[in-house]
């Protein structure tokens, strides 16, 4: 019997690549997004044209839309085996430049959005005594980089939340798995970014210009989202209790390895050498 996955944030990037990959592997895919009506304008590129894929509206901040999408996907495909929390974006800039609304929005999407989706799927997964909850966190949920403090706050929160959650869900055969991508070339570094600036706050400008340029370059040089789609697929098919799956290039793996083995001060020296390259205090 075909398996079914429901994925959030499939209008672009990792979510979109994952819809294609899971469908190619013969899975049913409930591709959810905030504005599915826009897919109609994408012609042959529309996800709706793929076999075994159906589109549903889902905004992770709108509980009713999550409930409806889950109900509709279950009705369309006869069940859901795996849910992928992918929707998210990054606020970038100095913390001091962020408004309370920007901080709230970042946590509403990346943290409370994930919790909203998990809360809505749990009664169903618990009743059927099975299911997998995959969440696209980030290597930024395990290490940090300059000018992404709020984003890291959200991803570290999700890492802690899901790790703890895995204990109580194990008796119900519900697997919790986090996928931690390194830099991946998507709209994350472009249209999805929330750049934090404040008129008159110029003291950070030189630091932000350098670190932002280096981060953007990392995004431009990064592998495409198909790499993460494959990791998600492997995790979805992994019956073990493994919690974390790193995804990305060799630099991603090297960084996470060094974070484990080096004292934090040395590790931060490495991060600075890369991200602050060209900056003079």
Ligand X SMILES: NC(=O)c1ccc[n+]([C@@H]2O[C@H](COP(=O)([O-])OP(=O)(O)OC[C@H]3O[C@@H](n4cnc5c(N)ncnc54)[C@H](OP(=O)(O)O)[C@@H]3O)[C@@H](O)[C@H]2O)c1
Which residue in the list 21, 89, 148, 151 is annotated as catalytic? Answer: 151
Report in angstroms how near the CB of residue 181 gets to ligand X at its nearest: 4
| Angle between the N-to-C axes of helices 113-128 and 63-77, in degrees from 0 to 180, rounded to the nearest 10 | 40
Q: Is 151 a catalytic residue?
A: yes
Tokens representing 233 are 């697929």
Which of residues 31 and 210 has its CB atom nearest to ligand X in the complex?
31
What is the helix (H) or strand (E) element at residue 222, kind and residue range?
none
How many residues interact with ligand X (rule CB under 6 A)?
30
- Determine, following the binding rule CB under 6 A, whether residue 4 of this chain makes contact with ligand X: no
| 30, 7 Cβ separation under 8 angstroms | yes
Q: Is 89 in the site for ligand X (CB under 6 A)?
A: yes
Alpha helices in 86-224 (DSSP H): 100-107, 113-128, 149-169, 205-221
- Verify binding: residue 94, ligand X, rule CB under 6 A: no
Question: What mask, x for binding ligand X by CB under 6 A, covers residues 136 to 155?
Answer: x-x-----------------
* Cβ neighbours of residue 13 closer than 8 Å, sequence gap 6 or more: 184, 186, 187, 188, 192, 225
**Does residue 252 bind ligand X (CB under 6 A)?**
no
Q: Give the residue from 111, 112, 85, 113 showing the smallest Cα distance to 5.
A: 85
Binding test (CB under 6 A) with ligand X, winner from 57, 172, 187, 226: 187
Catalytic residues: 151
Q: Binding residues for ligand X, per CB under 6 A?
A: 8-9, 11-15, 33-35, 59-61, 86-89, 109, 113, 136, 138, 181, 183-184, 186-188, 192, 219, 225
């Amino acid at each position: 019997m075909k398996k079914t996955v429901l994925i959030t944030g499939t209008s672009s990037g990792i979510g979109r690549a994952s819809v294609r990959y899971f469908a190619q592997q013969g899975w049913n895919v409930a591709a959810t997004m905030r504005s599915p009506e826009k897919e109609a304008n994408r012609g042959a590129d529309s996800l709706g044209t793929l076999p075994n894929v159906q589109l549903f509206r889902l905004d992770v901040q709108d509980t009713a839309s999550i409930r409806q999408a889950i109900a509709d996907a279950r009705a369309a495909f006869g069940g859901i085996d795996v849910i992928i929390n992918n929707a998210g974006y990054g606020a970038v800039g100095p913390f001091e430049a962020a408004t309370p609304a920007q901080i709230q929005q970042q946590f509403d999407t990346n943290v409370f959005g994930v919790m909203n989706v998990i809360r809505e799927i749990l009664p169903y997964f618990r009743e059927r005594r099975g299911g997998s909850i995959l969440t696209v966190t980030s290597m930024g949920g395990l290490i940090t980089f300059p000018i992404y403090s709020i984003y890291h706050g959200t991803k570290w929160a999700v890492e802690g939340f899901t790790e703890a959650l895995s204990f109580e869900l194990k008796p119900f055969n519900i697997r919790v798995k986090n996928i931690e991508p390194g830099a991946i070339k998507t709209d994350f570094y472009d249209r999805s970014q929330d750049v934090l600036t404040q008129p008159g706050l110029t003291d950070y400008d030189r630091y932000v210009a350098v670190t932002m340029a280096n981060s953007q370059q990392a995004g431009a040089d990064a592998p495409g989202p198909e790499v993460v789609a494959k990791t998600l697929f492997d995790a979805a098919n992994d019956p073990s209790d493994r919690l974390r799956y790193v995804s990305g290039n060799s630099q991603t793996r090297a960084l996470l390895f060094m974070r484990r083995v080096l004292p934090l001060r040395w590790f931060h020296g490495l991060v600075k050498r890369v991200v602050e390259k060209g900056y003079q205090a």
